Amino acid sequence: MVEEMAEVGSRPTCRPEDFAWARTRAFQRRVDRAIEIVRSAAEKGPIGVSYSGGKDSTCVLDLVRTVVPDALAAFFDSGCELPSTLEMVRHVGAEVVVPRMSMVDMARYSGWWGYRDPVDQGCSFDAKRVLIEEPSEAFVVKRRLRVIAHGVRAQESGGRKKHIGSRGPLYQGADRTWYCMPIAHWTLSDIWAYIASRELKYNAAYDAMTEARIPREEQRVAGMLGERGSGWGRHALLRQYAPEQWNQLVKEFPRLAILS
Which residues, other chains included, contact 185 with Cβ-Cβ below 8 Å and sequence gap of 6+? 30, 153, 154, 164, 169
For residue 63, which of 194, 178, 193, 170 has the smallest C-alpha distance?
Answer: 194
Residue 112 DSSP symbol: G
What residues form DSSP beta bridges with 73? 49
**Domain assignments of the chain as residue spans, ordered by start:** 16-204
Interatomic CA distance for residues 122 and 111, integer angstroms = 6
pLDDT truncated to tens, each residue of the chain (260 aa)? 344 445 554 577 899 999 999 999 999 999 999 999 999 999 999 999 999 999 999 999 999 999 999 999 999 999 888 889 999 999 999 999 999 999 899 999 999 888 999 999 988 889 889 999 999 999 999 999 999 999 999 988 888 889 898 899 999 999 999 999 999 999 999 999 999 999 999 999 899 888 888 888 888 887 777 654 444 456 666 677 777 878 888 889 888 877 55
50 close to 152: Cβ distance less than 8 angstroms: no
Residue 198 DSSP symbol: T
Residues 202-231: b if buried by 16+ CB within 10 A, e if exposed: bbbbbbbbbeeebeeeebbbbbbbbeeebe
State residue 239's pLDDT score.
73
Q: Does domain 16-204 have CATH number 3.40.50.620?
A: yes
State residue 244's pLDDT score.
81
> pTM for the complete prediction?
0.88
